[in-house]
Amino acid sequence: MAYTIEKGKKFIPADSGCFQYIGRIDSDDPKRPVMIWPGSYIDVDFTGTYAAVVLKNINFQEDTHFAVIVDGVMKKIFLPTDRQDNLYVAAEGLEDKQHTLRILKTLAAHNYLEFTGIVVDENASVTNPDHKYDMKLEVYGDSVSAGEVTEALYYEGQCDPADHRNKLDNSHFSYALSLARKLNAEVHDTAQGGIALLDGTGYFCSDQLTGMESCWDKLEYTPYADRKQWDFSKWIADAVIIAIGQNDANPEPERIRTPEYRRMWKDHYIKFLRGLMEKYPEAKFVLILTVLGHDRTWDDALEEITQEVNSDRVSHFMFRRNGNATNGHPRATEQEEMAGELYNYFKGTLGF
């Protein structure tokens, strides 16, 4: 154990029943649940003046971090690479009353977070908020859906800052989590930067390009560690957004214009879509690309897929500035723009 608990404080373990877990979280060991996908979070209410989080950072890259949100105020904490349990102060010197704490996984496969519990004042009360959500929303996507480079403020409409290297990523500001907050939805943000649909395409894991077709049904999914299947019976979505196609032009951008490759890509997409439709037999599915610059032919392919599937459960949505807003990752403001348009679509057209 690489930390000590001060006198006058107490430890609340992960399996105490005081925590509400949201996301595809590995709970096989309830004493050490693992946060894997971006936008996963843990909520807890506590009284007193102090709270700290105890977790292990299982890093696959440098410059990894997570965030704590205390009473609505966020603090991002950068993590060491020692792969030991460490204590991170979330807040201190608080007014002695009830507070809210959210522990947020800000990144995708840059790291996993193994949570062991929190430390609070010795006389504090700690309770599970047990928030009641109105629906369950799942998003399958890439770096935009994961919230990468969202914190590059004043870079709206511009390419990404040089050497940002994960530091400006934050899933909290993704359209996926923003939309979930607007809809009061429990969200699974099944998103990974650089990912395309097919293995051997896109940018995820450059030395062994891995596509969503190899990750969508996984709990632990990075090829740089042991992989584990996700049990879909644990959680049934009411609505699913699929935002795949942005990275699929790599490494041969013109292939999608050839009839043979286009047919093959659409067939794989339809197989992926139908697999999800079987897992979630009542859910509605929305196929999108985002405001990040891309070739319109990918939007056309999604429209073709929607028409071929021909189901009242599947629709194709395009943003007002679809593919035209920016050549860099959408910033928090641009993500919020997308979330607002999707919210109107979900409430108005889909009836949520």
* Sign, Cα dihedral of 339, 186, 109, 88: positive
Dist CA 91 CA 71 (whole Å): 10
Strand 65-70 vs strand 34-35: parallel, antiparallel, or unpaired?
unpaired
Residue 2 pLDDT exceeds 80: no
| pLDDT tens for each residue of 237-264 | 999 999 999 999 999 999 999 999 999 9
Residue 293 lies in a domain: yes
- What residues have CB less than 8 Å from 14, skipping those under 6 apart? 30, 31, 32, 33, 115, 116, 117
175: CATH? 3.40.50.1110
- Which of 127, 160, 185 terminates a domain? The answer is 127
pLDDT at residue 1, rounded to an integer? 59
85: CATH? 2.60.120.260
For residues 88 and 210, membership in a common domain is answered with no
pLDDT at residue 137, rounded to an integer? 99
Residue 4 lies in a domain: no
Dist CA 101 CA 43 (whole Å): 6
For residues 157 and 79, membership in a common domain is answered with no
324 pLDDT band, cuts 50/70/90, is: very high
For residues 299 and 155, membership in a common domain is answered with yes
Residue 51 pLDDT exceeds 70: yes
- Which of 127, 149, 176 terminates a domain? The answer is 127
At 17 the three-state DSSP class reads coil
Residue 3 lies in a domain: no
Residue 117 lies in a domain: yes
Count the neighbouring beta carbons within 10 Å of the beta carbon of residue 261: 13
Query: How large is the average pLDDT for residues 217-239?
Result: 97
**Average pLDDT over the chain, rounded to an integer:** 97
271 pLDDT band, cuts 50/70/90, is: very high
Residue 301 pLDDT exceeds 80: yes
**% of the chain surpassing 90 pLDDT:** 99
For residues 328 and 274, membership in a common domain is answered with yes
DSSP state of 212: G
Residue 138 pLDDT exceeds 90: yes
Helix axes 259-279, 296-309, angle to 10 degrees: 50
Residue 269 lies in a domain: yes
For residues 106 and 147, membership in a common domain is answered with no
Residue 341 lies in a domain: yes
For residues 180 and 268, membership in a common domain is answered with yes
For residues 84 and 156, membership in a common domain is answered with no
pLDDT at residue 250, rounded to an integer? 97
| pLDDT tens for each residue of 64-113 | 999 999 999 999 999 999 999 999 999 999 999 999 999 999 999 999 99
Dihedral in degrees, nearest 10, Cα atoms 343, 345, 351, 352 = -20
Residue 290 lies in a domain: yes
Residue 103 lies in a domain: yes
For residues 333 and 271, membership in a common domain is answered with yes
- Which of 58, 92, 127 terminates a domain? The answer is 127
Angle at 198 between CA 197 and CA 203, to 5 degrees: 80
Domain range for residue 150? 135-348
* Sign, Cα dihedral of 84, 102, 173, 289: positive
| pLDDT tens for each residue of 276-287 | 999 999 999 999
pLDDT at residue 247, rounded to an integer? 98
Residue 165 pLDDT exceeds 90: no
For residues 247 and 104, membership in a common domain is answered with no
Report the domain count for the chain: 2
Query: How large is the average pLDDT for residues 106-131?
Result: 98
Residue 65, Ramachandran bin (φ over 0: left; ψ between -120 and 50: alpha; else beta): beta
Dist CA 282 CA 234 (whole Å): 15
Integer angstrom CA distances of residue 224 from 21, 60, 109, 218? 25, 8, 9, 14
For residues 91 and 154, membership in a common domain is answered with no
For residues 164 and 264, membership in a common domain is answered with yes
pLDDT at residue 28, rounded to an integer? 97
For residues 171 and 254, membership in a common domain is answered with yes
**% of the chain surpassing 70 pLDDT:** 100
